[in-house]
Structure 1
């Protein structure tokens, strides 16, 4: 039996840097699991999920698992993903398309944040820190804000440094405000981590605001890292099991 195909779903890939990162991630996933058909699609202005499902069906795939490449479960985006997947499946009789939970914020992702931070600090030749900011996507959803805030606390506890959560859109504080809050408390060596998969206009703005406010370094997004790839495959494994009919488990 052929394993279900895997679609890594990005919210929007109109920025070529995002598209490049997602392409690199799918390549990495394919190297880890060469037995799987791995591809990507996007929502937003360039909704390619339907056409991607169409292509996989032409190739002979009848089961497809879609993994949203999100660190937080924004209800609007997850609902849009589910609706788009259902519409794509409706075009093909007998084809099953399952959308998994989002990636979430795994503990291992904090290690990737550390690596990106070390790279940024090395580039700037910085050896001393007395404050951190963790910037993520903004949302009016309090659950999204809470998830990023919890990640900021965990990251700060790991380094024994005061850490403030910041948001790119919708919710305060912005990255610049968070840096200034640290500076108002007397801290001068403040670095910013980006809880984003790929660079885009949001990360550009976060970097600009944080630098203007006095941050000494801003790390790159997590990118196509092996830890992200393993998290995608973990979600895939759960999604693939959910496609197995209940009677298949009968003894």
Structure 2
């Protein structure tokens, strides 16, 4: 099993990916779990897949540690798999769906992980929520973030609005301010991130400056996320299989 994260210059992000790989390995004994990154951190998925083929493996499952099916899932990951399988020993690679909504539905494990992180920082009541994501220019990907926000709002019985750290408005501070202006007294922010880094830091700073009562940590290696990874591995619908050899 190969996990593929976005990658970041922030060393905390790489450590979060390694911690998730350890959690997935512990939950599925006997299966080798390898972390990889598309940028900033080595090894990349192409290098890991090639190494597995040379070591004698003939099949691998690649799990994109992404919360939206945007550019990295549509372009970067298929390119990495194609490069790995173009030459050398044959290796069949199945690429799973991303961890965020891929078919319109929001996985219960994802909601449970977000609920866990919120409970860690805001055990009391709040009357509105902001789901703070990294951001994307892909309208379909933003739609998937909106579905998570809707599901999270239903889960807690409060209004839940989306914000983005980049690429699209509104920012977290703006979203918090709008909810407060509409009458919400206690606004909490759910960090829709898999790993810490500059984006999550910026979200936390702007949300707190706007009056948020709490900002949850990234999902990292929460047990629910490890479970979600295994759900993706076990779900063989809509898979993409790279040609062997």
| Structure 2 residue 24 is the aligned partner of structure 1 residue 23 | no
User: Does residue 12 of structure 1 match 2:13?
Assistant: no
Q: Give 1:29 shift.
A: 1.2
Cα distance in 2 between the residues matched to 1:64 and 1:239: 13
Equivalent in 156, 162, 165 of residue 165 of structure 1: 162
Within a 5 Å distance, the mapping from 1:50-89 to structure 2 comes to 50-89=46-85
C-alpha contact (below 8 Å) 2:54/2:88 kept by paired residues: no
Bigger CA radius of gyration? 1
Aligned equivalents of 2:144, 2:108: Cα separation in 1: 12
Task: Map Cα deviations across residues 25-76 of structure 1 (whole Å, 9 max, x no partner).
Answer: 1111111212211111010244612221232223321212111011111134
Distance 1:244 1:237 in 2: 18
1:103 paired to 2:99 = yes
Matches within 5 A, 1:103-182: 103-105=99-101, 106-122=107-123, 127-182=124-179
Residues in 2 aligned to 1:110 and 1:83: alpha-carbon distance in whole angstroms = 30
Deviation at 1:192, TM superposition (A): 0.2
Deviations 1:128-187 (A, max 9, x none): 412111111211111111111111111112211111111121111110110010111122
CA contact (8 A) 1:26 1:38 kept: yes
Q: Is the 8 A contact 2:195 2:220 kept in 1?
A: yes
CA RMSD in angstroms comes to 2.2
Maintained 8 Å contact 1:100/1:235: yes
Q: Contact 2:146/2:162 (CA < 8 Å) preserved in 1?
A: yes
Question: TM (normalized to structure 1)?
Answer: 0.86
Aligned-partner Cα distance in 1 for 2:240–2:182: 50
Pairing 1:231-242 to 2, within 5 Å after superposition: 231-238=228-235
Do the aligned partners of 2:12 and 2:197 also contact (CA within 8 Å) in 1?
Answer: yes
- Contact kept, 8 Å, 2:128 with 2:188, in 1: the verdict is yes
- The structure, 1 or 2, with the larger RCO (C-alpha pairs under 8 Å, 6+ apart) is 2
TM-score by length of 2: 0.88
Cα pair 2:82 2:242 within 8 Å, conserved = no
* 1:249 paired residue number: none
Matched residues, number: 236
Task: Tell me, in whole angstroms, the C-alpha distance in 2 between the residues paired with 1:185 and 1:198.
Answer: 31
TM-fit CA distance, 1:119: 0.9
**Structure 2: tracts of 5 or more residues without a match:** 102-106
